[in-house]
Chains A and B, each alone.
Chain A
Amino acid sequence: MIPLAEHERLAAAVCFSRELDDVVVATLAGGDALADERWRVYREMIRSRFRKVVQAALPRTTHVLGDRFEARFAAWLDEAPPDTRFFREVPVGFAHHVEAWLASPGAADLPAFTADIARYEIARWRVLAAPDDEPAQELSFERPPQLTRSLALLDVTHAVHAKKKGPPKAGVAHLAIYRAPKDDAFEAVTLELNELARDLLRAWSDPSETPLAARVQAVTQARGTAIDERFLEGLGTLLEDLLRRGVVLGSR
């Protein structure tokens, strides 16, 4: 009888290896033909469950990968199997794997928007499960801002968020994705920001204790933006909109 730790290591290898090694299965099965067959059943069940959750979270990515999906899926499990105990987070690993692979020569023939689609889909998937927010204080420029924990900020080079049919058009976009109530459930909402709004939201998302006013000043200084009447009016409109949406909750 093999030690328990070795039993577990071999079982994981059976489940995750790109190519199933008959010797590994036979060792795990202790030479028993039925056990050998049944460990292969486990492999198929486990991989099927992973495949389903990945396809549910990343339908457009899966579609774009087409007949190359299976090879990517197998490579992901082999090279970087899920390291999260949260089943909902399993597709995140696959999305990261695809994004990294897309930079390789082997993926050169895939559309340039593929990485953006993967990043966009996984961001929308994650905001729906993000932790709930703590109550905030009334917004004050003298205190650090409190934003929703479901917010994801994403820069893309193709309009993967556009609802138009057909391939996403090239063009840089700055996206804010957050969870909002809809009917008796929730939905992931996408906002398109201009560059200044993107920089402000990034600065406000920082968990430091820096007050809101100082964060605004830091962004304007870095960008060379004057804090004039027009800017203040725009800032007020932005804050009002984000407060109404529940993206900015108030102050900490």
Chain B
Amino acid sequence: MAREFLARIPDEVAFVEVHPENYVGRGGLYRRNLDRARDRYPVLTHGLTLGFGSTEPFDRAFLADVRAFLDSVNAPWHSDHLCFGGAGDAFVHDLLPIPFTDESVKTAARRITEMRDALDRPVAFENLSYYVPLAKDPLDEARFCVEVAEHADCAIMLDVNNVFVNSRNFGFDPRKWIDLVPAHRVVQMHVAGHLVRPDGLRIDTHGEPVPDGVYELLDYTLRKLGPRPVLLERDNDIPSLDELLAEVRRLNEVYAAATSAGVSSVPSTTTTTSTSTTTTASTSSSHAEVAK
């Protein structure tokens, strides 16, 4: 996929997003593909292992590596997840949810501030897909996210698919969730497909086409919050590039329709290299993404 993508450099794609964990300390094919992508596309960065909900101290050496990587790709901001990814020295390599408590708010705000200082650029957190009920009112998650953003005075990397998945798993109106989000905080968005298990539980796999419901929610979100870079995530069961680009074109149509009719809003905490359409095409393994 990566080879074909980089050979074609499709016009549908406006930027790419990569995980620093896939490149720090790594050479060979990944690095070469990234260098080729950088020649043509702006690069955004999105972390996997520096979750803001963790009570473990940051690995300062790794933060320094991340900063060097972000500098090398001229990343305008960096995002990671409002979650934790292990305990002690152990990494689960997944995004585990944290309770919506004051302790969690303070922990996340402290880590976001610390990361922002270490990376010397704006930091955003991504709202999570989670499967364990954490509150009687599922909209508490949105309120929790807003509180973290206010405490940390940071940006939000709004994952529209995650809001949709949670709304189906916990039975709420995802538009009400979006309505609680302060527009000026949102710096970027993600959309993706997800798995619906036989028991009805939806899992954020990034392994399916983006469903209509997510496009509809994206349309609503863009009209409500204004234009932002939107990334199409696809990490698993990656189809042919032509199929993926067809999805990108549909995303671009949704984007164009929503933003031409919607409010124009510039993120206050960032300088963005791409404010037009957005998309992603995954490259290879389960944690590598190339987008536009």
Contact = CB atoms under 8 A, between A and B. Distances in A.
Given A29-B132, A42-B131, A46-B93, A1 B55 contact: no
Contacts of A34: 132-133
Contacts of A35: 132-133
A128 interface: yes
Nearest to A36: B132
Given A34-B133, A39-B132, A87-B21, A129 B27 contact: yes
Given A4-B107, A8-B54, A132 B87 contact: no
Contact of B55 (A5, A16, A41): A5
B49 to A, nearest CB: 4
A130 B31 CA distance: 10
Interface residues of A, number: 45
A29 B99 CA distance: 11
Given A38-B132, A42-B96, A85-B49, A128 B28 contact: yes
Contacts of A42: 94, 96, 131-132
B100 to A, nearest CB: 10
B73 to A, nearest CB: 15
Contacts of B217: none
Interface string B16-32: 00000110111111110
B230 to A, nearest CB: 25
Given A1-B101, A8-B55, A8-B87, A85 B62 contact: yes
Given A42-B94, A42-B96, A83 B89 contact: yes
Interface string A12-34: 10011000000000000100101
Contact of B93 (A4, A41, A90): A90
Interface in B94-150: 94, 96, 98-99, 101, 103-104, 107, 131-133
B103 A38 contact: no
Contacts of A87: 21-22, 48, 93, 285-287
A233 to B, nearest CB: 34
Interface in B74-105: 84, 86-94, 96, 98-99, 101, 103-104
A8 B84 contact: yes
A16 B94 CA distance: 13
10 contacts: A4-B107, A11-B96, A38-B201, A42-B132, A45-B203, A86-B25, A86-B26, A87-B22, A129-B27, A184-B3
Given A15-B92, A42-B94, A87-B286, 5 more contacts: A4-B107, A41-B201, A41-B203, A46-B93, A85-B59
Interface of B: 3, 21-22, 24-31, 48-49, 53-56, 59, 62, 84, 86-94, 96, 98-99, 101, 103-104, 107, 131-133, 201, 203, 285-287
